[in-house]
Amino acid sequence: MAETALATPPETKMDRGRTMSAAAEATSNLIVDPAIYAQQDQLDAAFRKLRAEDPVAWCEPEGYRPFWALTKHADIMEVSRQNKLFTNGEREMLSYENAEKGVYAQMGGPHLLKTLVQLDDPLHFKLRHLTQEWFMPQNVKKREDAIRQIAKKYVDRMEDLGGECDFQRDVALYYPLRVIMQILGVPESDEPMMLKLTQEIFGAQDEDLMRDKTLAEKQDVEKGLASINETLAEFFMYFTGITADRRANPKDDVSTVIANGMVDGEPIGQLEAMSYYIIVAAAGHDTTSASTGGGMLGMLQNPSELKKMMDDPKAVSRTATDEAIRWTTPVKQFMRTAHEDYELRGRKILKGESLLLCYPSGNRDEDVFDDPYTFDISRSPNKLISFGHGGHMCLGMHLARLEMQAIYEELFSRLKSIELAGDPSFIKANFVGGPKSIPVRYKF
C-alpha cells in the first residue's frame, strides 16, 4: 500500500447512525490490515493522520464489526484504567466478523479460550492472583542468576555460529522461550513444539507461520477456525498431561500452581487451566522475542545508538530495554466494550460499542514522547504503553525487562562489531508481532 492511500477522500460515509470522518475513511482499512503491521512507515502514517485529525475515530473497516479507534496515549490510558466501565469479555481483540459469528456458532460464546485477556473481574482477578506472586519484582529478581546463565548460553551459541546468523530466528526466538519454559517446568526437549504452536496462534495471519498454508490465498473462516482449533487441541493435550503430573508430583514451577489452583474453594476449571497454560507459554516468550529483536534492529539501523550500547552496555541496558519495547510494541491492540455511555474528546461512545486501543500509535504520540520517531536508547522518561495499563497490565512485564537487559548486557559486553547482513522482515499480524528475520554479521 502506498502512502498515497492516506489521501483524504472527497466524501464521508454514514452507516449505523455513525459518520466516519475523512481521516477514518482513509485509514480504517489500513489499521486492521495484518500486512501493514509489517510496513512500519505506512502504519505510522496511518496512525499519525488519526492522531492529528480524529483521535477518537469511528471506523467501519471491511470484514470487521465497527469500533472506535483510540490513537492518543492519554485516551488509551483513560479507558484502560476503568475496567468496570470498559470490559474485555465481549470483544478482546480484532477478529473478522465472519470468524466471530463462527465462534459463536461453534462455542456458544465469543471466545475459544478463557485466558486473563478474555476475562473480566471478579474471575480475572482471582485467576491472575494465582500466579501473580511468581512475576512480582522481588521473585523475578531471585531468578536473575538463572536468566543470566540462559542469556550466556544463547550468546555462546551465537558465537559458535561463526560470524553470521539470523538474530531473530537463531537467538531472539529461543532465549525467552527457554526462560518461560523453565518457569513453567516444560522440558527443553519440548520447546520446539511450544514455539511452533505459539507461532501458529500469533502468526495465524502470516503465510510463513500459519498452520494451514492454503489460508494464505483467501480468507476461509471455517478453515481458519479449524486450523486454530487443531493448534489449541495440541496445546490442550500436552498441558492435560502436565496437569495430571503436577497434581500427582508437585514441583516448584508455575504449572504446579495452575494445576492445583483453587477458585472460590473449587479446583480451577479445565478450560480456565488450559487457557492459563497457553497464555503463559505463548505470550510469555513471543512478545519478549519480538522486543529483543526489535531493539537489536533499532540499534543496527541507528549507529549512534549501537555505539552507546557497545561502549557501556550495563549503563544503558535498562533504558535501552524500555525503548526497544516502545519501538517494537509487540502487542498491537486490545479491545474494550463500553458498559455505559461515555464521552471522550467530545465524541459520544454508546453503551455496547467497541473501542480499539491502538498501542503502536500511543507509543508514537507527539504529546507524550519527544521525537517519537527517533530510536533513542537513553530515552528517559519513557512512558511506554506497551504493557497496557490498569487491571490488565501485563503480568510478565518485570520478567520481560530483566530478560532483555540480561541478553543485551551479555551480548554487547562481548561483541567487537555487528551489522546487518541483509534486509530484515516482519510478521504480518495485527495482534502480536515483530521482526521475523534479522540477518547479521558480527565479530566476537
Helices then strands (H, E): number in the chain? 16, 16
Residue 11: per-residue pLDDT = 35
pLDDT (tens, 9 = 90+) of the chain, 444 residues, equals 333 334 433 333 434 568 899 999 999 999 999 999 999 999 999 999 999 999 999 999 999 999 999 999 999 999 999 999 999 988 989 988 887 776 555 555 556 677 888 888 999 999 999 999 999 999 999 999 999 999 999 999 999 999 999 999 999 999 999 999 999 999 999 999 988 888 887 766 667 656 555 555 555 556 666 677 788 888 899 999 999 999 999 999 999 999 999 999 999 999 999 999 988 988 888 999 999 999 999 999 999 999 999 999 999 999 999 999 999 999 999 999 999 999 999 999 999 999 999 999 999 999 999 999 999 999 999 999 999 999 999 999 999 999 999 999 999 999 999 999 999 999 999 999 999 999 999 999
Task: Record the cell numbers describing residue 267, joined without a space.
Answer: 479446583
Residue linked to cell 528475520? 437
Q: Which helix (H) or strand (E) holds 91?
A: none
pTM of the entire structure?
0.91
Residue type, 240: T
Q: Which helix (H) or strand (E) holds 427?
A: none
> Where are any strands of DSSP class E within 156-234?
164-166
φ, ψ (nearest 5 deg) of residue 277: -55, -45
Buried b (16+ CB within 10 A) or exposed e, 155-181: beebbeeeeebbbbbbbbbbbbbbbbb
- Are the C-beta atoms of residues 88 and 334 closer than 8 Å to each other? yes
Domains parsed from the chain with CATH numbers: 1-56 (no CATH), 63-418 (1.10.630.10)
> Tens of pLDDT along 110-160?
566 778 888 889 999 999 999 999 999 999 999 999 999 999 999 999 999
Dmax (CA) for the chain in angstroms is: 67
Task: Record the cell numbers describing residue 400, joined without a space.
Answer: 520481560
Residue 3: per-residue pLDDT = 34
**In 3-state terms, what secondary structure has residue 388?**
coil
**Cβ-based neighbour number of residue 47 at 10 Å:** 24
Residue 107: per-residue pLDDT = 53
Q: Cβ neighbours of residue 146 under 8 Å, at least 6 residues apart? A: 182
User: What pairing do the DSSP bridges indicate for beta strands 425-426 and 435-437?
Assistant: antiparallel
Cα gap 50→44, rounded to integer Å = 10
**In 3-state terms, what secondary structure has residue 69?**
strand
> How far, in whole angstroms, is CA 19 from its chain's centroid?
31
> Where are any strands of DSSP class E within 214-293?
262-263, 266-267
Residue type, 325: I
